[in-house]
Structure 1
Amino acid sequence: MSMTKTGGRTAPSRRSSIKWILMLGALAALPAITTDMYLPSLPVVAEDLDTTQAAAQFTMSGMLIGAGVGQLVIGPFSDRFGRRLPLLIGISLHVVTSLLCSLTPDIGTLIGLRVCQGFFNAAASVVAIAVIRDRFVGSDAARLLSRLMLVIGVAPLFAPTVGQAIAGVWQWRAVFYALALIGLFLVLIVWRFMPESLPREQRRPGNPHRVAGNYASLLRDRHFMALAVIPGLGLAVIMSYVVGSPFVFQDQYGLSQGQFAVVFAINGAAIVGSAQLNAALVRRAAPIRVLRVAVIVQMGCALILLAIVLTGFGGIVGLVAGLWLVLGTQGMIPANASVLALHNYGHMAGTAAAVIGALQSGVAGLVSPFVGLLGGDSVAMVCVMLAAVSLTLLVLATATPAYRKGGWRERDGMEPGATTTAGETEEREAEQVEAQGPDQRG
């Protein structure tokens, strides 16, 4: 790959950036593909394993729980041993657990294996974000993450359709054979094309005391935690839609599985499109400016969606249109929040990315089951989505200076052109770390 030197750090050239986007996007999309390809099989799994609908749905929640724990473990591991090793180990074990899922005799075993599957494929999403932070910060990082959303978003758009086709011909267990093949393909891609992005001299000793100290320092940083929880609330919006939509569209509105797959793809395209809009916007405005406007717009769209489902205005067309607006604004929120959260933690990007990822899985795993608990209909789904959007606005407004006049410094807001690559802030980060005592650096 053609490479250039920028700001003291080797960074991909413009020609190779597309390869990086495709490669990192495929890695970051693995958990979503593992979730969405299996989604249409839930009713059949419940029938085949002689279990309840709630137990079958927990195979989805269990994966999110496993992913949350896995990211907390894998993040520090990647800061200690580099990015390639945990990635190769994690995806390889994803292949093994996928094969075991295909052989499961009962729902309890399947739930346990799905928790393990989430734990292991968490390596893909953690390392993908950490690699971006190894090379970029500021608007460039937000732009790259937005481009990444194109790859991350397109794959799950087609995953339910592909999963439905596979299960229709070879039964639901064959879906896990397909997931194993996808994992094997990613292992080969990483082995052949992905160089190590974390130099040996920048790797951090990973003893338990130091790892605990790193997590403690992140937990004490109020602004980091506020920004880190926002992608989790965003995923809660999406997962509330994901777990509720099959029952809303098929049971409440009478759509076939094929029609549901089309609606799912339409709404997914809204997320992808807004992510690309975000990539263009951060060229002209700081990520914080885009974030604070997008959250307010999403709140307004969520209120409109609630009015639609309460009044029945427009029928299914009105519902799809309202969901499209809410999900569309979502593409402009997680990337900017993540970049802002990671900005001052380039020296432990893996650990910081792990906290963001764990919060994503954990918050979504806690919030999305409320759709079923509240009745599982369109009103329940939209109310849970609205609650997550409201919490996003509340966190951004009260726990960060995003809406205070002069409350966010230009450098913290990362105006376009202020910082373009990770190399340009490395010396400043190193000075901050050296200025701390040994216990704080731990």
Structure 2
Amino acid sequence: MALGRETFAFTAFLGTLTALPPLSIDMGLPGFPALEATFPDAAGRSPLTLSLFMAGFAISPLICGPLADRFGRRATLLDGLLIFSLAATACALAPNFTVLLACRLLQGFAAGACAILPIAIVRDLFVHGAARQKLSQIAAVLGIAPMLAPVLGGWIMTFADWRAIYAAQALVGVTLLIVGAIGLAESQPVENRRSLNPRQLAESYRFVLGDRAFVGYATLYAFAFACMFAFISGAPSVLIGSLKLSTTAFALLFGLTSCGVLVASLISGQLSKRHVPSRKIIAFGLVLMAASALAALLLVPANAVTVASLTPLMALTIFAFGILAPSTNHEALQNLPHVAGSAAGVMRCTQMVMGSFASAMIAVLEPFGHPALVMTGLMSVMAIVAGSIYLWVLPAAKAGTDHS
């Protein structure tokens, strides 16, 4: 039975594809102690399962984007889901820690292929407000994953071991593979296919990177994501380490805070449905993000950092990202219909690089300052840079487009 593009099933399918990375990352966290107990050489090294996954994810879009432009979205997606499922199964059966890490790298690569394609598919099938609304609906599904994944992982650990977590991820991959094979039609017209000739690939990336609007919106999106990821990376040190929250209370609070992405995505979709210009939506999100991050930063010198004062501001920051993300994605790809796969790949790669950079800066800077100062300071810098791109870079890009 085909997935009609206007149906809830179609939106849920694309949303679940984009949720594979957070599902694969957050779901395994509760199993870290058991994993380290299984493999002696994994002691203190279980976070490498996240680092290798993210490394594979960052590389994948640059390779799989052009493949999707050449062979179509459907074939590339199904291959990605097959590799994801096999890699997750191999993780569950891994005989040692080295094999597990290698399989996680492959799993991240496959998840990256699956996560970029919904954007290209939406770009193929929808335009203007309808595209932004669909992206908002997909982002709403994506917003649920960070809330549910740790809970699912913890629930699995109550009756099984860490291997069952990866088995569950494989089951998700197989389910999506079956649904896609049966119900997903190809969205890219044959006449829009691109060659894999190296010269053609170079031309595709030259075309993508030569589009000033794409570069501006993609960079803006990456810095906004880094602002949110600075909170994700720094929250344990601040809330558990400094403010002495229990791990249970932290998980609950983190889940509630993550609801901001879900709520904001739904609101963004409604704004698009009412034909509110995307630039106004993005501007509102950036102002809210910068204001909430700076307000949180000011709590530190005022010696007013508490759970009650900090958490609402962090929730507003995440809410702001959920507001601006769908419109930013849409605007970045608006001028690139023939290379949407390559463009989406570059955008996701940039996003992951900036997220990894923000996480690394948290780790580097925390020994030299109060964790709350480091986290909120980095968030503020990232939000201000994103706003600066909007004010200075994008108007020039628009002017260049107007004169072309």
Q: What's the TM-score, normalizing by structure 1?
A: 0.83
Equivalent residues in 2 for 1:142-161 (5 A)?
142-161=132-151
Quickly say closer, same or farther: Cα 1:178–1:305, change in 2 above 3 A: same
The separation in 2 between residues aligned to 1:311 and 1:46, in whole angstroms, is: 41
- Per-residue deviation, 1:401: 0.5
The amino acid that maps onto 1:276 is L
| Structure 1 residue 382 corresponds to structure 2 residue 376 | yes
The separation in 1 between residues aligned to 2:301 and 2:155, in whole angstroms, is: 35
Of 191, 195, 202 in structure 1, the residue corresponding to residue 181 of structure 2 is 191
| Structure 1 residue 235 corresponds to structure 2 residue 229 | no
- Per-residue deviation, 1:319: 1.8
Partner of 2:387: 393
Of 28, 40, 44 in structure 1, the residue corresponding to residue 30 of structure 2 is 40
Partner of 1:291: 282
The separation in 1 between residues aligned to 2:376 and 2:104, in whole angstroms, is: 27
The separation in 1 between residues aligned to 2:44 and 2:199, in whole angstroms, is: 40
The amino acid that maps onto 1:275 is S
| Structure 1 residue 330 corresponds to structure 2 residue 321 | yes
Partner of 2:239: 249
| Structure 1 residue 84 corresponds to structure 2 residue 74 | yes
Quickly say closer, same or farther: Cα 1:46–1:147, change in 2 above 3 A: same
The separation in 2 between residues aligned to 1:60 and 1:225, in whole angstroms, is: 28
| Structure 1 residue 276 corresponds to structure 2 residue 266 | yes
- Per-residue deviation, 1:180: 0.8
- Per-residue deviation, 1:166: 1.4
Structure 1: state its 5+ residue gaps: 4-10, 413-431, 433-442
Structure 1 contact 101–113 (Cα < 8 Å) conserved? yes
Quickly say closer, same or farther: Cα 1:300–1:254, change in 2 above 3 A: same
The amino acid that maps onto 1:348 is V
Partner of 2:11: 21
Equivalent residues in 2 for 1:44-63 (5 A)?
45=35, 49-50=39-40, 55-63=45-53
The separation in 1 between residues aligned to 2:238 and 2:277, in whole angstroms, is: 38
Partner of 2:197: 207
Quickly say closer, same or farther: Cα 1:322–1:312, change in 2 above 3 A: farther
Size of the alignment, in residue pairs? Answer: 398
Identity of aligned residues (%): 28
| Structure 1 residue 117 corresponds to structure 2 residue 117 | no
Structure 2 contact 42–97 (Cα < 8 Å) conserved? no
Structure 2 contact 124–337 (Cα < 8 Å) conserved? yes
The separation in 2 between residues aligned to 1:195 and 1:234, in whole angstroms, is: 33
| Structure 1 residue 360 corresponds to structure 2 residue 354 | no
- Per-residue deviation, 1:39: 2.9
The separation in 2 between residues aligned to 1:187 and 1:56, in whole angstroms, is: 29
Q: What's the TM-score, normalizing by structure 2?
A: 0.90
Quickly say closer, same or farther: Cα 1:386–1:63, change in 2 above 3 A: farther
| Structure 1 residue 102 corresponds to structure 2 residue 92 | yes
Partner of 2:338: 347
Q: Deviations over 1:101-138 (max 9, x none)?
A: 23445554443332221111112111111100001122
- Per-residue deviation, 1:56: 3.2
The amino acid that maps onto 2:373 is V
Quickly say closer, same or farther: Cα 1:110–1:240, change in 2 above 3 A: farther
Stretch moving more, 194-203 or 231-240 = 231-240
The separation in 2 between residues aligned to 1:42 and 1:319, in whole angstroms, is: 28
- Per-residue deviation, 1:375: 1.9
The amino acid that maps onto 1:189 is V
The separation in 2 between residues aligned to 1:306 and 1:53, in whole angstroms, is: 35
Structure 1 contact 36–159 (Cα < 8 Å) conserved? yes
Greater per-residue helix proportion: 2
Structure 1 contact 240–369 (Cα < 8 Å) conserved? no
The separation in 1 between residues aligned to 2:28 and 2:242, in whole angstroms, is: 21
Partner of 1:132: 122
The separation in 1 between residues aligned to 2:138 and 2:211, in whole angstroms, is: 27
Q: Secondary structure at the match of 2:107?
A: helix
